[in-house]
Amino acid sequence: MASISTLGVGSGLQLSDILDSLTAAEKTQLTPISKQQSSYTAKLSAYGTLSSAVSAFQTANTALNKADLFTATSTSSSSTAFSATTTGSAITGKYTISVSQLAKAQTLTTKSTQTDTKTAIASADSKITFTAGNGKDPVTVDISAANSSLSGIRDAINKADAGVTASIINVGNGQYRLSITSTETGSDNAVSIAVSGDSALQSFMGYNGTSTDASNGMTESVTAQNAKLKVNNVDIENSSNSISDALEDITLNLSDVTTGNQTLTITKDTSKAETALKAWVDAYNTLQDSFATLTKYTAVDAGTSSQDENNGALLGDSTLRTIQTQLKSLLTNSAGGTTYKSLTQLGITSDPSTGKLSLDSTKLEKALTDNPSAVKDLIVGDGKTTGITTTMATKLTDWLSTKGIIQAAKDGVSKTLNNLTDQYNAVSDRIDATVAQYKAQFTQLDVLMTSLNNTSSYLTQQFDTSSSSSK
């Protein structure tokens, strides 16, 4: 029987060429399926692009959807000894500040030294208990005799979260001291240290809270103290250099003492809201660009039945059209607006042909300066059901959720692609079976024709021999 590589050799027929032509003709059945697969694959990718574009706008919308932006303030100080930060509710005005003392954290240092950091100090297992004056529960650190070297004690304390940190100081000439510092400033955060289990370790680092007691193994190298200052000539004392409860919605950050009275000035700051609004407009316009790319239409030449492959993958898509239409509608939502009822009054206008927004910075800045509260009412509303960014936030979350319209569209396309794959495989299998049948038939034909040709040659030879004998 002839093999496929020599199909037609014995018969002299062009069976391989015929089989190739028939195979190509059969495979044309796969072309429309392949085109559909390409189309739906492009659509699935386009939905991913759409989701990313909507998500990017959501980020800008979330940044703008904050009431504090529209009551934001900025601070300035007449001294480098202090600075301040504010929340959106801080009252504008000037405050007199005088800092006479900074808060400090207690530091205790051993009186005696060790000649290295690895030799054990204690001969028995011990416990070191730290007690702070702030009312917190004492913290006890277990120290084994084998681990009672300077480095062992330091590491054990630092792992214990005892309200202090330990370090080793090289004082020179091969001598080392252990230093203990409170993690928080203020006199109430100073600690006493009790050591039990080993007298040598007790003598080395015990501290009863009185720096003049000769029995203490440690001395107070830095005394804990509170910050002291005056705000508008009112005395204030605080355990921290960051003071958030002296002035409402203002945090004072102290870095040095002042020379006499200094001034802290709190003023309105429209730049934060203006920057957020500009970023929001830019993000909205970028989203419109994505819409335009995904729905791009290229005209088809007259007499051509197929659309241009340069068309956007979501041309005419209902999911994208729904998002685009609803976003445009939400721009005109004036619910929550008081003095200002539309974005146009803030200097933000829409181009009807492109859907993009443009922003008049001068007009926006004036609106934010004249009536920031009214701008907030239009943009943010009550933060629940009213305000442009608030209602947009709800829609954006819905669209991007795992049960939203974008995911539903993706799921639909994925299901179609799976069906097309099954269809492609079924048709391909059927084509393979048909081609295999053609091969078998052609092989049989080749064998038959080879046999007939051989018989013909034999008979011809016999006739030629008979004819020669007769002569």
> Residue 290 has what DSSP assignment?
H
Residue 418 lies in a domain: yes
User: Mind listing the pLDDT tens digit of every residue in the chain (471 residues)?
Assistant: 444 446 655 555 676 777 778 788 887 887 888 888 888 888 999 999 999 999 999 999 999 999 889 888 999 999 999 999 998 778 889 999 999 999 999 999 999 999 999 999 999 999 999 999 888 899 999 999 999 999 999 999 999 999 999 999 999 999 999 999 999 999 999 999 999 999 999 999 999 987 667 778 999 999 999 999 999 999 999 999 999 999 999 999 999 999 999 999 999 899 999 999 999 999 999 999 999 999 998 876 655 555 566 788 999 999 999 999 999 999 988 777 778 999 999 999 999 999 999 999 999 999 999 999 999 999 999 999 999 999 999 999 999 999 999 999 999 999 988 988 888 888 888 888 887 887 777 677 767 777 777 777 777 777 777 777 665
Q: 177 and 276: one domain?
A: no
Per-residue model confidence (pLDDT) at position 90: 86
Q: 315 and 430: one domain?
A: yes
Residue 149 lies in a domain: yes
Q: Over the stretch 257-292, which tens digit does the pLDDT of each residue have?
A: 999 999 999 998 999 999 999 999 999 999 999 999
Domain boundary among 159, 192, 222: 222
Domain boundary among 222, 257, 285: 222
The domain of 412 spans: 1-72+270-297+310-447
Cα(93)–Cα(318) distance, rounded to whole angstroms? 54
For residue 272, the Cα-to-chain-centroid distance in whole angstroms is 22
Task: Provide the token pair at 242.
Answer: 């960051």
Q: 216 and 338: one domain?
A: no
Cα(447)–Cα(453) distance, rounded to whole angstroms? 10
Q: 127 and 207: one domain?
A: yes
The whole-model pTM stands at: 0.68
For residue 47, the Cα-to-chain-centroid distance in whole angstroms is 20
Per-residue model confidence (pLDDT) at position 297: 86
Using DSSP bridges, classify how beta strands 234-238 and 227-231 pair: parallel, antiparallel or unpaired.
Answer: antiparallel
Integer Rg of the chain from CA: 43
- DSSP-derived secondary structure for 297-312: --PPPTT--SPPTTS-
Per-residue model confidence (pLDDT) at position 2: 41
Residue 1 lies in a domain: yes
Give the 3-state secondary structure of residue 19. Answer: helix
CATH number of 157's domain: 2.60.40
Number of compact structural domains in the chain: 3
User: How many CB atoms are closer than 10 A to CB 85?
Assistant: 15
Q: 208 and 244: one domain?
A: no
Residue 467 lies in a domain: no
- DSSP-derived secondary structure for 323-357: HHHHHHHHHT--TT-SS--SGGGGTEEE-TTT--E
Cα(66)–Cα(383) distance, rounded to whole angstroms? 8
- DSSP-derived secondary structure for 82-100: EEEEE-TTPPPEEEEEEEE
User: Which of 55, 89, 69, 90 minimizes the C-alpha distance to 278?
Assistant: 69
Q: 425 and 349: one domain?
A: yes
Per-residue model confidence (pLDDT) at position 13: 66
